[in-house]
Structure 1
Amino acid sequence: MPRPSASEVFRNANFSLFFSAQLISHTGMWFQNLTLALIIVERTASASALAYVSVAQFTPLLLLAGVVGKIADTISPRIVLTITAACSAVVACGLEFFVSLPAVDLIWLYALVVLAGCVSAFERISSQAFIFELVGGDLLKNAVVLNTVAVSVARSIGPGLAGVVYLAFGPVVCLYVTAVAFGLVATLMLLIRASKLTPRRTTSTQKQSLKTLFAEIRRNIDLRVVLIINAVITVAALGMNVVLTAAVTITFEGDAGDLGLMHVLNAAGAIVGGYLLTRTEKVSASTLGAALLGLSVSLA
Structure 2
Amino acid sequence: MAESPRQLGPRSIFKEKSYARFWFARICSTLSFQMVAVAVGWQLYALTHSTFALGMVGLVQFTPMLLLTLVVGHVADRFDRKTIVSICQVIEGTTVATLAVTSYFGWLHPVGIYCAVAAIGASRAFESPSTQAMVPGLVDESMVPTAIAWSASANQTASIVGPALGGLLYALGAHVPYALCACLFGTASVLSSTIRTKRRASGKGPVTANSLFSGIHYIRARKNILGAISLDLFVVLLGGATALLPAYARDILHTGPWGLGLLRLSPALGALTTSVILAHHPIRRQAGKRMFAAVIVFGLATISFALSRSVWLSMGILAVLGAADVVSVVVRSSLVQLETPDEMRGRVSAVNSLFIGTSNQLGEFESGVTASWFGIVPATIVGGVGSIVIALIWMGVFPGLRKLESLSGAPGVKK
Q: Which of 142, 147, 165 is matched with 1:143 structurally?
A: 147
Per the alignment, residue 281 of structure 1 pairs with 284
Per the alignment, residue 40 of structure 1 pairs with 44
Q: Does 1:270 align with 2:274?
A: no
Q: State the 1:93 CA deviation.
A: 1.4
Listed as ranges, the matches of 1:50-199 within 5 Å are 50-100=54-104, 102=106, 104-167=108-171, 169-192=172-195, 194=196, 197-199=197-199
| Cα shift readout 1:138-169 (whole Å, capped 9, x = no counterpart) | 322211211111111111122222222223x1
Larger displacement relative to structure 2 (61-70 or 114-123) = 61-70
Q: 1-side partners of 2:116 and 2:66: how far apart?
A: 17
Q: 1-side partners of 2:48 and 2:256: how far apart?
A: 13
Per the alignment, residue 295 of structure 2 pairs with 292
Q: What is the CA RMSD across the aligned residues, in angstroms?
A: 3.2
In terms of Rg, which structure is larger? 2
* One-letter amino acid of the structure 2 residue matched with residue 214 of structure 1: I
* One-letter amino acid of the structure 2 residue matched with residue 264 of structure 1: L
Q: 2-side partners of 1:34 and 1:177: how far apart?
A: 13
Q: Does 1:13 align with 2:17?
A: yes
| Cα shift readout 1:10-35 (whole Å, capped 9, x = no counterpart) | 11111111111111111111110111
**8 Å contact from structure 2 (residues 100, 175) kept in 1:** yes
Per the alignment, residue 221 of structure 1 pairs with 223
Q: 1-side partners of 2:51 and 2:7: how far apart?
A: 48
Q: 1-side partners of 2:235 and 2:170: how far apart?
A: 30
Q: State the 1:233 CA deviation.
A: 4.7
Percent sequence identity over aligned pairs: 23
Unaligned runs of 5+ in 2: 303-379, 381-415
Aligned length: 292
Distance 1:282 1:32, change over 3 A: farther
Q: State the 1:180 CA deviation.
A: 0.8
Distance 1:217 1:264, change over 3 A: same
Per the alignment, residue 209 of structure 1 pairs with 211
| Cα shift readout 1:91-126 (whole Å, capped 9, x = no counterpart) | 101222343454744222112101100101111111
**8 Å contact from structure 1 (residues 163, 260) kept in 2:** no
Unaligned runs of 5+ in 1: none
**8 Å contact from structure 2 (residues 48, 110) kept in 1:** no
Q: 1-side partners of 2:144 and 2:156: how far apart?
A: 18
Q: State the 1:217 CA deviation.
A: 3.5
* One-letter amino acid of the structure 1 residue matched with residue 170 of structure 2: Y
Q: State the 1:46 CA deviation.
A: 3.8
Q: 1-side partners of 2:67 and 2:112: how far apart?
A: 21
Please give the secondary structure, in 1, of the residue aligned with 2:142: coil
| Cα shift readout 1:46-75 (whole Å, capped 9, x = no counterpart) | 443222111112222232222111111121
Q: 2-side partners of 1:13 and 1:298: how far apart?
A: 39
Q: 2-side partners of 1:179 and 1:198: how far apart?
A: 30
Per the alignment, residue 230 of structure 1 pairs with 232
